[in-house]
Amino acid sequence: MTHRGLLRILLPAIVAAWLLPACGPPAAARKTEADARMRMGVTYLEQGNVPMAMTELLRASELDPGNAEIEMMLGLSYRARGDQKKAEEHLRAAIGKKPDYAEAHNNLGIVLADRKAWDEAIREFQIAAADVRYQTPERAVYNAAEAYRSKGDAAKAEEQYRRAIRFNERFAPAYLGLASLLGQAGRWDEAETVLLRCVKALPDYPEGWMELGRAYAAMKRPAEASKAFQTVLAVSQDPEIRKQAAGYLRVLGPEGR
């Protein structure tokens, strides 16, 4: 059963905007331009154009040095560039400017996990998840589960995966992480239950059906495995996923009919 690892950092939902002319007091005009440049920087970062993203974000930071969101986006840009030290510096600076910034705490946790500082990372994920204003706490809880798993604490990892699902029953990564953890421990009946919950909540989610098929194959239940892999073919148009499912069906052969 596959194991996906920490969720990748997600950029905040920022709508792209054009640069606006300076039309108010100098300070207000600078903030307006900084906001527009930050939005363009985020767009460049989403497109994978890190140099242009950093150009816009550094200029935005010069225009509005107290802006925690710009600071966080600079942290994400440095991480995308591979400079973990600078990424951590900017994320900590963002939190310094806005201590209750849940997204920055979650992203700092990911950077800390990158260097295997598991306990520090878990603390940041917990701070993010505890903020009642954070709209996606399941992500921080899932990341905490992954960190616990990486440091070898399977019991805490299981607890956090289950908590992430309680936060959001349609949060697919938590189902897959939990099922993988249970499968590695030989708890296949429990893994099956988790994956059945996953495909019930997300019937068109091919990865859920794929993992269910793998679980059934591990449990020596070829007919049910075959049915799960056939469902992958029915719900997915992704060539790679379809290729994997077809490969499993060939291996199962007549036993899976």
Distances (CA, A) of 98 to 57, 71, 93, 123: 18, 10, 9, 17
pLDDT of residue 230: 97
pLDDT of residue 50: 96
* Contacts (Cβ under 8 Å, ≥6 apart) of 112: 88, 120, 121, 124
Residues in the chain: 257
Domain boundary among 46, 78, 99: 99
Q: Is 121 among the domain residues?
A: no
pLDDT of residue 3 exceeding 80, the answer is: no
pLDDT (tens digit per residue) in 18-33: 344 444 457 889 999 9
Distances (CA, A) of 91 to 75, 80, 208: 5, 13, 34
pLDDT (tens digit per residue) in 67-121: 999 999 999 999 999 999 999 999 999 999 999 999 999 999 999 999 999 999 9
Residues 181 and 94 in one domain: no
pLDDT (tens digit per residue) in 172-216: 999 999 999 999 999 999 999 999 999 999 999 999 999 999 999
Q: Is 66 among the domain residues?
A: yes
Q: What DSSP state is assigned to residue 7?
A: P
Q: Are 76 and 65 in contact (CB under 8 A)?
A: no
pLDDT of residue 22: 45
CATH number at 49 reads 1.25.40.10
Question: What is the rounded average pLDDT for all residues in the chain?
Answer: 92
| Region of poorest pLDDT, from 9-13, 131-135, 144-148, 205-209 | 9-13
Domain hosting 30: range is 1-7+25-99
Distance, CA of 94 to CA of 97 (rounded, Å): 5
Q: Is 64 among the domain residues?
A: yes
Domain boundary among 69, 99, 129: 99
Domain boundary among 66, 82, 99: 99
Domain count, the chain: 2
Residue 70, both tokens: 């710009």
